[in-house]
A and B are shown apart, each in its own frame.
Chain A
Amino acid sequence: MVYGGLRPAADWLTYDLMGLGRGRHLGESVNFFFYDIAKIFLLLLVVIYCVTLIRRSFSPQRVRRALGGKREGVGNIMAAGLGVVTPFCSCSACPLFIGFVESGIPLGVTFSFLISSPLVNEVALVMLAGMFGLRVAGLYVAAGMITAVLGGLLIGRLRLEDQVERFGVAVNNDEAEERISFGQRSREAWAHTKGLIRKVGPWVVLGIAVGALIHGYVPVDLVARWAGKDNPWAVPIAVVIALPLYSNAAGMAPIAQALYAKGMAMGTVLAFFMAVVGLSAPEFIILKQVIKPKLLALFAGILTLSFILFGYLFNAIL
């Protein structure tokens, strides 16, 4: 792997160039810091670029056409899957949501998309894979998809269509789609990758720095006692703590990893991480324009409950 060269490079920087002692607190922290930063940025660069390139083929218009006329069930699963490859920024949440619903896509199917799209995103996956390995990242994807499918199905069953503001606009599907060449597509993907890394980069560095401090200085039994498997309150508390940390997966993953290394249970870590990524206060505030409070509260409640249940489940089986 490419990583092969990173470990010796980090060792050399820390122990030889900076002259810090192996096995010492400071030395261990600094070494961890350099190694993780190099690893994460390399991963982010490659994955974001590839994902951006692929996703150009999945415009929201195309997703909407693909979901049009699908029954519940099949539609929910498709919507959750398409949500993984089609992101939207929270400021697009309203046009996207209303655009889907008004074109006749069932409310529950729309919600499946609305849940999976932000929850299962490439930055969160890179951070998880880089910090905890592919197995944990895979479990996260599975938990996210199941939450999206079941949450959407439940909302669909409750017949809450009256909870959505009606706009009554004619939906025209093909007008607003653009075609571009591969060269332009790859240039764009590169620009997007640079922009995104510039945005999350400072958080990654900060998160890794805090993680490194925890690695070097925080005693194991402290974390294990409070956030280990034996504390039944750890999962819901972790989810509540995550609420104000919305969408900062990049910064939180290294900190979560350091806490895990110090004895925080894996299910608690994953529940925390899902809540950081999936429960976004700004998104809820924006969606308030088009979704009435009852449905919005139900939406937030389903997500919170699901993350807590998955936390307990993973704590039990991992």
Chain B
Amino acid sequence: MKIEVLGSGCKRCHALAEQAEAALKELGIQAELEHVTDLKRILGYGVLSTPALVVEGKVKCQGRMPSQEELKAWLQEGAR
């Protein structure tokens, strides 16, 4: 599974990346986590506000911090 955190490298983007990593560990899911700072790629996803989370090429949320439950649900869904 491939997970991307989109963001320019601000505090909230790092927080989202950490949250995703923690959730992966807790669920015991193996995944590749990438922090995307390249503006072109961010825009390519149609994202206008960061941080955003992309699971398996699909934008799950943007411009906000998802709750832990949401995050886990997306990761489990993506792992299937």
Q: Point out residues on A near B: beta carbons under 8 Å.
A: 59-61, 64, 88-92, 94-96, 98-100, 102, 167, 169-176, 178, 187-188, 191-192, 195, 286, 289-290
What residues of chain A lie closer than 8 Å to B12, measured between beta carbons? 89, 91
Known A89-B10, A89-B12, A95-B39: A60·B63 in contact at CB below 8 Å: yes
Contact A169 B7 (CB under 8 A): no
Which residue, of B12, B47, B49, has the highest number of chain A Cβ atoms within 10 A?
B49
When chains A and B are docked, how far (Å) is the Cα of A124 from the Cα of B62? 24
* Minimum C-beta distance from A143 to chain B (A): 26
Interface residues on B, range: 20 to 34
Is B31 an interface residue when CB atoms closer than 8 A count as contact?
no
What residues of chain A lie closer than 8 Å to B44, measured between beta carbons? 169-170
Q: Point out residues on B near A: beta carbons under 8 Å.
A: 7-10, 12-13, 39-40, 42-52, 59-65, 67
Chain B residues touching A, majority SS = loop
Contact A175 B49 (CB under 8 A): no
Known A88-B49, A91-B8, A286-B8: A176·B43 in contact at CB below 8 Å: no
What residues of chain B lie closer than 8 Å to A99, measured between beta carbons? 43, 46-48
| Other-chain residue from B40, B45, B63 in contact with A175 (beta carbon distance below 8 A) | B45
Contact B63 A92 (CB under 8 A): yes
Contact A102 B43 (CB under 8 A): yes
Contact A192 B64 (CB under 8 A): yes
Contact B61 A96 (CB under 8 A): no
Contact B59 A175 (CB under 8 A): yes
A100-B48, A171-B46 given. 9 additional CB < 8 A pairs? A91-B7, A91-B13, A95-B39, A95-B48, A169-B43, A169-B44, A174-B46, A178-B61, A187-B67
